[in-house]
Structure 1
């Protein structure tokens, strides 16, 4: 794209064009050259795979330093320990509440529309599930024994705990702590500049990811579980477009339409990458510069949300549990459904923000109510598409929580939120060539 085109087209528009081009070209190649070894070798697993993987790697590269540095900055600026407790309490309460609501809606919808067909159980089904951690293990694993190892392995919950403790310590050692905090604030600025640089190649990365997906996504399984797919999709859309805006309006009085408009870039990134963690750099930049949440709040609520707030995954687990029970003609009691709600809500804490991990946690939920995990084989073919949508729902919930908590703590700039052009004039890239890629489309 030329510099003139970049100025005329905002980031959202460029990503949408890249996404649509990827889908169209992928479907054309699939239709015109079915079974082509050249397309498979040099395009699907070659060009598209390389470009898409590089883009995802660049995003994931930022996750650990961004989470650690931003959380240290945020907690170091909170001189009152009670404020940190309030932030944590409000954020976790919101996340757990919306997750419970999400899975309740999902189970209700699945019972009403009855997507499961018992004839599907006759098909050969095999699914080897990785062992899901127990609830006790999830709680124990929150606390790091080796923070360096946690940083190296990208264990988000342990990184969050260590960063909070480290930031609190900085805030308690006076002048020396202020010098360390200033250093971390400078590092945070550097990381955000790196985010801005990576956004320059976002349309190309999105194009490659969607082209590869269009070439590899199977259609046979989709046809057999279409009802399940649409029930999950509808509940996801209702939760993202109705539940969250209502909560935003009730708790803040802000305009939900403005919120949705400003969150488009984040939702598109989440949809394309199917990873809350990979989308985190974009989410944090948007929350601060487009939504008006103070960095002290966003640097706490968003990394936490990318790790523990999995409403989209909970919806999938709720519908899938009922679907598999219907397929195998197994009646679940009210107690079983309550157990599903409780288990899926708690399991969301142990669900990492990476593609496909929801299926592992689904096996844990199925085991709790005595359903065969082999049923997961029925839905695995369409899970990639649903994973993309539910990730967009997850990051929407993270952002709503951030705005609500920031508003309640008096750390919110309503002028930025109400300004449709906020951050469009953020010329962070002008010094690098004048491309205003931080605009929304």
Structure 2
């Protein structure tokens, strides 16, 4: 008999924790307050163990990713243009999410009773949202005068900018120094990944304790709240995937009927595997069916699978905006703009990282840039398997869409 997967164990931890907390809340068990406080404290220690790896991990991933990407762009050609298209679409997806998610939540807010219970039980983090600085100060904060202080303060937006500038500078060094620095930072991210995997071994227990505290505060209302969350995030992921379809239709001038026929087996594979990498052979076959030259699909599709997750900034920013909605945290336009930038950039830092790790690697920087509480993240990780269907569908649409667009660049160059 096969042992349950890590995702299954985390989901079981969520269900058991919510149930135990809701029962405690319903029967008003003696000592409930002390038990919930202890569970919150131990669960918080587990969450802090994850958070301690985020800054060095994201910084190292961005430096190595930027150094390699800048080298590809510098060489120009199809690879460079594809990377620029990836970046533009990631930024566009995050920007649209910043406008659509609040509008959707205004029209269809989270279940009121559960959201109110969470707000009433919110601890210090939720009440200490920094005030929006003046525009001049906000712009200046993107360039950290002291990068080490920015890291210590959790000023993630400025730290991301510094990592990108540093990675770009590394790409301009001579080969020996460039390779040495890339190797060093690659080793840093690998070591951080080992620590993250150690911590995630305890994820079912950590999720159980944190879910117990939420269940005790909200009762079984948390179940409806999580279902509402899954729908909102899934819609934003599908919206991002629609950008890939538009890229194929408008940018690549692909007939809609041909695109729909080619994408049916790709979508079926995406739903069954929840893995863009596993869909690569089917996507290559779809591109052949669309008449895309092999020299284009053979280069752009593997690059897309490795670097381009169009649903990452959309889905992750939607998660952050949803949590801000739950806690009643007002976000000024400048804060949202910082979140858009960080969401688009850190999506590139998730290259080759497992989905359970990616969830924290890409979300914690966004939460830090917006000043949001992170206590709900482990619970949202437990239900990530549901919006992950939409994430994969959107990603494969983005991969094929940009590849069809790139084929038109080739045709234009030939003409």
TM superposition score category, shorter chain reference: 0.5 to 0.7
Matched residue, 2:364:
354
Q: CA deviation at 1:37?
A: 9.1
Change over 3 Å in CA distance of 1:154–1:161 after alignment to 2? same
Three-state SS of the structure 2 residue aligned to 1:145 is coil
Q: CA deviation at 1:212?
A: 1.0
TM-score (norm 2): 0.55
Residues 312-349 of structure 1, C-alpha deviation per residue, up to 9 Å, x if partnerless?
3335657887xx9xxxxxxxxxxxxxx99967853633
CA contact (8 A) 1:236 1:389 kept: no
Matches within 5 A, 1:2-41: 13-21=5-13, 23-24=15-16, 27-28=19-20, 35=31
CA contact (8 A) 1:232 1:319 kept: no
Name stretches of at least 5 consecutive residues in structure 2 with no aligned partner.
249-258, 277-300, 344-362, 407-415
Three-state SS of the structure 1 residue aligned to 2:187 is helix
Three-state SS of the structure 1 residue aligned to 2:108 is helix
Q: CA deviation at 1:13?
A: 1.6
For the residues of structure 2 that align with 1:59 and 1:399, how far apart are their CA atoms? 27
For the residues of structure 1 that align with 2:102 and 2:331, how far apart are their CA atoms? 8
Change over 3 Å in CA distance of 1:166–1:97 after alignment to 2? same
Change over 3 Å in CA distance of 1:387–1:357 after alignment to 2? farther
Matched residue, 2:353:
none
For the residues of structure 2 that align with 1:68 and 1:85, how far apart are their CA atoms? 17
Q: Does 1:183 align with 2:180?
A: yes
Q: Does 1:100 align with 2:84?
A: no
Change over 3 Å in CA distance of 1:200–1:141 after alignment to 2? closer
CA contact (8 A) 1:142 1:161 kept: yes
Matched residue, 2:57:
62
Matched residue, 2:73:
78
Change over 3 Å in CA distance of 1:394–1:312 after alignment to 2? farther
Matched residue, 2:358:
none
CA contact (8 A) 1:66 1:188 kept: yes
CA contact (8 A) 1:232 1:315 kept: yes
> Match for 2:194 among 176, 197, 221?
197
Three-state SS of the structure 1 residue aligned to 2:73 is coil
Q: CA deviation at 1:225?
A: 9.5
For the residues of structure 2 that align with 1:264 and 1:247, how far apart are their CA atoms? 19
Residues 50-83 of structure 1, C-alpha deviation per residue, up to 9 Å, x if partnerless?
5554355345652332333333333244315885
For the residues of structure 2 that align with 1:200 and 1:170, how far apart are their CA atoms? 29
TM-score (norm 1): 0.53
Matches within 5 A, 1:13-412: 13-21=5-13, 23-24=15-16, 27-28=19-20, 35=31, 45-46=41-42, 50-51=45-46, 53-58=48-53, 62-79=57-74, 87-110=86-109, 128-134=127-133, 136=135, 137-172=137-172, 176=174, 178-187=175-184, 189-191=186-188, 193-194=190-191, 197-198=194-195, 200-201=197-198, 204-221=201-218, 231-232=228-229, 234-240=231-237, 242-251=238-247, 255-259=266-270, 263=274, 292-293=302-303, 297=307, 310-315=317-322, 346=337, 348-349=339-340, 353-354=363-364, 357=367, 404=398, 408=402
Query: By percentage of residues, which structure has more helix?
Result: 2
Measured on the aligned residues, the alpha-carbon RMSD in Å equals 5.8
Q: CA deviation at 1:90?
A: 3.3
For the residues of structure 2 that align with 1:399 and 1:153, how far apart are their CA atoms? 37
CA contact (8 A) 1:141 1:158 kept: yes
CA contact (8 A) 1:310 1:348 kept: yes
